[in-house]
């Protein structure tokens, strides 16, 4: 097999959609699995949809996700640069290349100039709709002679160039996921290839670029499947070998609808800012439409590369299940080093003003213990704030009714008095004492088990359940505990 070459070809029209990230991921996994090359190309021929900063954001998002590519568009020292022998990789810098191939199609009679105004096209479409026909170009300009067309152009008339599809021909191709596909040209429009602003359409540019960049496999979302016959036809008239096609099932939500902004998070940035780890998001996303043969669900990038093949990509929509994502991401929150997770937690704690930068720098070890005792039940990092809030306010809040009853129970006063006495004897609570303190109080008071632990936990941490109590005692330290006891006695007892 010749060297596999794939590409991810986003349009810089906003932010990277989660479905786009999955397309990039499958391209990457395929290239890596086969020792091939992966290209990042920017498809910006629709200048009206260009969004400032979108290219940078795309690159940054791929980088964050751990998806590397070999050629194309990169950022170096804050600047967009291009690398590789098939450049430029930004379509708006390739206009003369497209022009050359459009001219070639005109010469060979496979494309024609069209002067129809937007008003005329709208009227034609309207009429077709009324008649119950599929709206498409009616072919008015197909018959114009080249001389006549060139004269009209010389007179300054606006024009586009359209593909001249033959009538009633089946265009066939094979898709690695969807199987054999055949579409009749009568059901297909004479696609515009070159727009009146001199830019090619996506359809023209994608074929020219995939050919010139030696792309062997076109891996993209299935929304492009209906366009593929036009592309296949273009390969035919140019006499080029067409790539292998792989159309991926659309990423759907649980209601089997396309993921949309209206229904929650869709951009990689949304997930990133919620505190999903790249490893978690990528691992889960790989499973939306693909599964390894052994059905393993926790997979590192290396595992995925090793196991990835297109024959395990499903035909039908990949369901994006937030709960499953949370489960996978939770696994990574628990399994990554505590240094890494604390590093990720700190920005959330600073943003919520629980701590500031200075505190984070001076109390790293303290924060690591804290993050470690709460990470067990977390799904994404932004949950950290609510998990640790109770540690930062000595005015203990008790919201739960059962907890309040426990706090107001018969043992609390005795326990807290004993605790104060225990702490009277020490400068500070070291690790050893934090492990022994409750035992000591038990000895001093004769109260044990639930009767001892529940009221104490509520008094110091505000709730009946929570992270390892000895660690909480250690992290709070003597002064905070005494303040909490004083507050609880005043407010609740
Ligand atoms: N520019 C297209 C997009 O934004 C790429 C489609 C393709 O991969 O051919 O999705």
| Closest Cα to atom 2 of ligand 1 | 10
Residue 354: the pLDDT is: 98
In order of 11, 229, 404, 406, 444, the CA distances from 420 in angstroms are: 65, 80, 21, 19, 12
Atom of ligand 1 nearest to the CA of 7: 8
Mean pLDDT for 153-163 is 97
Q: Which residues pair with 245 in a beta bridge?
A: 175, 218
Mean pLDDT for 87-96 is 97
Residue 22 near ligand 1, beta carbon < 6 Å: no
Judge whether 468 and 370 are in contact, CB under 8 Å. no
Q: How far is the CA of 459 from the centre of ligand 1 (A)?
A: 58
For the four alpha carbons of 123, 126, 132 and 133, in that order, the dihedral sign comes to positive
How confident is the model over 382-407, as pLDDT tens digits? 999 999 999 999 999 999 999 999 99
Q: Residues 6 or more apart from 188 whose CB is under 8 A from it?
A: 136, 165, 171, 229, 230
Q: How far is the CA of 20 from the centre of ligand 1 (A)?
A: 9
Q: How far is the CA of 140 from the centre of ligand 1 (A)?
A: 30
Q: How far is the CA of 199 from the centre of ligand 1 (A)?
A: 16
Confidence of residue 150 (pLDDT cuts 50, 70, 90): very high
Atom of ligand 1 nearest to the CA of 220: 8
Sheet with 160-163: strands ordered across: 111-114, 160-163, 192-194
**Short-list 173, 6, 5, 9, CA closest to 90:** 9
Q: How far apart are CA 263 and CA 414, in angstroms?
A: 53
Atom of ligand 1 nearest to the CA of 8: 8
Tokens of 162: 């359209």
Mutate to test the pocket of ligand 1, among 224, 245, 250 (most ligand atoms within 8 A of CB): 224
> Of 260 and 110, which is predicted with more confidence?
110
Which single residue is written with the structure tokens 């009221």?
Answer: 455
Q: Residues 6 or more apart from 65 whose CB is under 8 A from it?
A: 21, 24, 25, 268, 278, 281, 282
Q: How far apart are CA 179 and CA 244, in angstroms?
A: 11
| Closest Cα to atom 10 of ligand 1 | 10
Atom of ligand 1 nearest to the CA of 9: 5
Q: Does residue 318 register a pLDDT over 90?
A: no
Judge whether 272 and 380 are in contact, CB under 8 Å. no
Mean pLDDT for 258-285 is 90
Phi-psi region of 198 (alpha: psi -120 to 50; beta: other; left: phi over 0): left
SS3 480: helix
Cβ count near 127 (within 10 Å): 12
Residue 219 near ligand 1, beta carbon < 6 Å: no
Residue 228 near ligand 1, beta carbon < 6 Å: no
Confidence of residue 256 (pLDDT cuts 50, 70, 90): confident
Atom of ligand 1 nearest to the CA of 202: 1
Q: How far is the CA of 16 from the centre of ligand 1 (A)?
A: 12
Judge whether 391 and 475 are in contact, CB under 8 Å. yes
Provide the percentage of residues in the chain whose pLDDT is more than 70.
99
Q: How far is the CA of 11 from the centre of ligand 1 (A)?
A: 7
Q: How far apart are CA 244 and CA 216, in angstroms?
A: 6
Q: How far apart are CA 480 and CA 94, in angstroms?
A: 66
Tokens of 56: 């940078």
How confident is the model over 166-176, as pLDDT tens digits? 999 999 999 99
Mean pLDDT for 129-140 is 92
Q: How far is the CA of 41 from the centre of ligand 1 (A)?
A: 9
Mutate to test the pocket of ligand 1, among 13, 206, 250, 251 (most ligand atoms within 8 A of CB): 206
Atom of ligand 1 nearest to the CA of 206: 9
**Short-list 464, 467, 469, CA closest to 481:** 469
CA 205 to centroid of chain Cα atoms: 26
Q: Residues 6 or more apart from 203 whose CB is under 8 A from it?
A: 163, 191, 193, 227, 230, 231, 234
| Closest Cα to atom 3 of ligand 1 | 10
Mean pLDDT for 401-419 is 97
**Short-list 354, 366, 270, 224, CA closest to 61:** 270
Mean pLDDT for 189-210 is 96
**Whole-model pTM?**
0.93
Q: Does residue 264 register a pLDDT over 80?
A: no
Q: What is the DSSP letter of 112?
A: E
Atom of ligand 1 nearest to the CA of 20: 10
- The upper half-sphere exposure of residue 441, i.e. CA atoms within 13 Å in the direction of its Cβ, equals 27
Residue 10 near ligand 1, beta carbon < 6 Å: yes
Q: How far apart are CA 267 and CA 51, in angstroms?
A: 15
Judge whether 287 and 297 are in contact, CB under 8 Å. yes
Cβ neighbourhood burial of 463 (10 Å; 0-12, 13-18, 19+): middle
Residue 220 near ligand 1, beta carbon < 6 Å: yes
Q: Which of the residues are catalytic?
A: 261
Cβ count near 199 (within 10 Å): 19
192-194 and 160-163 beta bridge pairing: antiparallel
Q: How far is the CA of 207 from the centre of ligand 1 (A)?
A: 11
Tokens of 217: 């496999």
Q: Does residue 44 register a pLDDT over 90?
A: yes
Residue 11 near ligand 1, beta carbon < 6 Å: yes
Q: How far apart are CA 23 and CA 10, in angstroms?
A: 10
Residue 224 near ligand 1, beta carbon < 6 Å: yes
Mean pLDDT for 223-240 is 97
Q: Does residue 265 register a pLDDT over 90?
A: no
Residue 257: the pLDDT is: 85
Residue 134: the pLDDT is: 86
Confidence of residue 258 (pLDDT cuts 50, 70, 90): confident
Q: How far apart are CA 214 and CA 4, in angstroms?
A: 9
Residue 317: the pLDDT is: 76
| Closest Cα to atom 5 of ligand 1 | 9
Q: Specify the DSSP element, H or E, that contains 114.
A: strand 111-114
How confident is the model over 344-366, as pLDDT tens digits? 999 999 999 999 999 999 999 99
Q: How far is the CA of 220 from the centre of ligand 1 (A)?
A: 7
Q: Specify the DSSP element, H or E, that contains 368.
A: helix 364-374
Residue 206 near ligand 1, beta carbon < 6 Å: yes
User: Mean pLDDT, the chain, as a whole number?
Assistant: 96
């Amino acid at each position: 097999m010749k060297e596999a070459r794939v590409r991810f070809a986003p349009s810089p029209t906003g932010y990277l959609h989660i479905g786009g990230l999955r397309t990039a991921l499958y391209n990457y996994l395929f290239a890596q699995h086969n020792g091939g090359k992966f290209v990042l190309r920017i498809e910006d021929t629709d200048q009206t949809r260009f969004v400032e900063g979108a290219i940078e954001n795309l690159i940054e998002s791929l980088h964050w996700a751990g998806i590397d590519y070999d050629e194309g568009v990169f950022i170096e020292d804050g600047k967009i640069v291009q690398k590789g022998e098939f450049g430029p990789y930004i379509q708006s810098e390739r206009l003369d290349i497209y022009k050359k191939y459009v001219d070639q199609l005109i010469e060979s009679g496979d494309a024609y100039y069209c002067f129809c105004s937007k008003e005329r096209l709208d009227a034609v479409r309207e009429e077709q709709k009324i008649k119950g026909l599929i709206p498409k170009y009616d072919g008015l300009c197909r018959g114009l002679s080249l001389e006549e067309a060139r004269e009209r152009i010389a007179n300054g008339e606006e024009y586009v160039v359209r593909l001249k599809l033959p009538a009633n021909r089946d265009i066939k191709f094979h898709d690695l996921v969807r199987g054999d596909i055949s579409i009749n040209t009568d059901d297909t429009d004479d696609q515009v290839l070159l727009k009146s602003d001199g830019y090619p359409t996506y359809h023209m540019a994608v074929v020219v670029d995939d050919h010139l960049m030696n792309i062997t496999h076109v891996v993209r979302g299935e929304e492009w499947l209906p366009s593929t016959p036009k592309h296949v036809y273009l390969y035919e008239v140019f006499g080029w070998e067409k790539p292998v096609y792989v159309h991926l099932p659309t990423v759907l939500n649980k209601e089997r609808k396309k993921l949309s902004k209206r229904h929650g998070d869709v951009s990689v940035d949304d997930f990133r800012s919620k505190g999903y780890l790249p490893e978690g998001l990528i691992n889960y996303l790989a499973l939306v439409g693909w599964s390894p043969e052994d059905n393993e669900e926790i997979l590192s990038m290396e595992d995925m590369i090793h196991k990835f093949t297109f024959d395990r990509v499903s035909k039908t929509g990949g369901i994006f299940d937030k709960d499953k994502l949370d489960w996978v991401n939770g696994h990574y929150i628990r399994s990554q080093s505590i240094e890494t997770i604390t590093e990720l937690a700190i920005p959330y704690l600073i943003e919520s003003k629980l701590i500031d930068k200075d505190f984070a720098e001076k109390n790293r070890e303290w924060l690591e213990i804290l993050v470690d005792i709460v990470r067990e039940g977390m799904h994404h990092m932004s949950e950290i704030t609510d998990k640790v809030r109770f540690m930062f306010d000595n005015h203990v809040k008790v919201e739960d009714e059962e907890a309040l009853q426990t706090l107001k129970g018969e043992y609390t006063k005795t326990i807290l008095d004993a605790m104060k006495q225990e702490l009277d004897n020490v400068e500070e609570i070291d690790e050893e004492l934090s492990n022994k303190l409750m035992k000591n109080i038990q000895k001093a008071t004769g109260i044990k088990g639930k009767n001892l632990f529940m009221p104490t936990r509520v008094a110091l941490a505000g709730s009946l359940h929570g992270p390892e109590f000895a660690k909480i005692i250690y992290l709070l330290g003597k002064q905070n505990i005494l303040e909490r006891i004083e507050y609880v006695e005043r407010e609740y007892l």
